[in-house]
Amino acid sequence: MTENYISQIREILGSKAYTQSALADRLGVTYAALSRWLNARARPHRRRLETIAKLHRQVIGFPALSEKEMAGVDRQAKALCRKDLWRLISGNEDLQNELLVEHTYNSTSIEGTTLTQKETGLVILEKGIIPDKPLLEHLEVVNHAAVLRNVFRQGHREPLTESLIRTMHGNLLQGIRDDAGSYSKYPRVIRGLDIELTHPKDIPEELRRLLSAWNRPARKTAREIALFHAEFELIHPFGDGNGRLGRLLMALQCLERGYPPVIIENARKAEYYEVLEYAQKKAEGPFAVFLVEEMKRTAGIIRRYG
């Protein structure tokens, strides 16, 4: 997220969690280098900026967003809307292919796939086989691209239903899991997160409640898309593939409302998990800001095609 690193450093120091010497050690720089950053005589490179931002969130927390600020976030998303967007994507194969590779590479990489973006494109667009890479990873990206291609070519709205979600999951995990398309019958956990997921017996009821709220005839904002994704991942209806499916659903939801489909970059994986967990435990504002930033990146890709 775009933040002022100087104010972040000052707030960390002001919290008394670190002395300047200790903070310099934590960041892996000298006391003098940290002083130069504080006095704007030098600027940290990107990786250091990310470390400072993450440490700031750990020590200070996410900034609270007022209703006025949240309305501003929604206005930023609305400014990216295009009524003809779905038609543009469904009718332009070159644009489809670029978005397919971008989304598939990033979403599968978040879940651990080791194919590079170039390799992902070769597998999807040229049906290539990458030596020394597991066949399972080939199948994961091929399935993901096929589901997303269907979303892009659909080109019209229809209610988001349990049946559609189960069909998408079945296609996403086809040939990978025997229970593809079926709700999990077992407790699930997300490693590294202290979050209680929906009990297996409650999955159908919780998912229907979520879908009923989403399908109400009202304008859907970036904030509501963020909330849906956070709640869907808490329900975690399937034994595997919930993250990939949730991000595919988010692409569908964006297109239904004319927003550029969110493509969460693998490079921002740690930040994505942080704002998602924060949305699940406290407030969705930082996650909505994050999603709009990613919408803007996708909008830049789309602008090259018309």
Q: How far apart are CA 190 and CA 156, in angstroms?
A: 34
Q: How far from 260 is each of 151, 270, 275, CA to CA, in Å?
A: 13, 22, 20
pLDDT at 155: 63
- Please tell me what DSSP assigns to residue 156: S
Per-block mean pLDDT, blocks of 10 residues, the chain (306 long): 77 91 93 93 89 84 87 96 93 97 98 98 97 97 97 81 96 98 94 85 98 90 96 97 98 95 95 93 94 97 93
What is the CATH T-level fold of the domain 70-303, as seen in this structure? Fic-like fold (1.10.3290)
| CB proximity list for 111: less than 8 A, separation 6 or greater | 140, 243, 244
pLDDT at 237: 98
Domain spans of the chain, in order of start? 5-59, 70-303
CATH of domain 5-59: 1.10.260
Please, what's the b/e burial string for 219-233 (b: 16 or more CB within 10 A of its CB; e: otherwise)?
ebbbbbbbbbbbbbb
